[in-house]
Amino acid sequence: EPEVTQTPSHQVTQMGQEVILRCVPISNHLYFYWYRQILGQKVEFLVSFYNNEISEKSEIFDDQFSVERPDGSNFTLKIRSTKLEDSAMYFCASSEGGGLNIQYFGAGTRLSVL
């Protein structure tokens, strides 16, 4: 069964460093998403991406965040200068279409900022 894959499963970084979280969505999907879950808190929407541009973003998704689909298969989330409060589980998701199309989630990348 096709699945969304995320690498690495765990990323440790120093505060102020840049990190790139990588995702390979399901191959025929057109919509891509990032969510995050801070330990003990809700899963929160960060951004959605369609047709090579951001279609919606939350207030969390400020200028230190960016997303890219560099090569037609990967979908990346970049955090330019990490802060302690960026420590969280980051989930990538993809869907075939918009609206009620099911979002399929990856297993997540746990980001630890020291």
Nearer to other proteins, 18 or 56 (CB): 56
Name which of 4, 89, 102 is nearest 39 in CA terms: 89
The answer to the question of residue 31 lying near other proteins (CB under 8 A) is yes
The answer to the question of residue 88 lying near other proteins (CB under 8 A) is no
Residue with tokens 């120093």, as numbered in its chain: 14
Among 35, 61, 75, 90, binds other proteins (CB under 8 A): 35
Name the phi and psi angles at 85, rounded to 5.
-75, -5
What is the rounded distance in angstroms from the CA atom of residue 8 to the CA atom of residue 108?
A: 9
Nearer to other proteins, 33 or 75 (CB): 33
Written as six digits, the tokens of 73 are 């298969």
The answer to the question of residue 82 lying near other proteins (CB under 8 A) is no
The answer to the question of residue 27 lying near other proteins (CB under 8 A) is no
Other C-beta atoms within 10 Å of 23: how many? 26
Nearer to other proteins, 11 or 103 (CB): 103
The answer to the question of residue 91 lying near other proteins (CB under 8 A) is yes
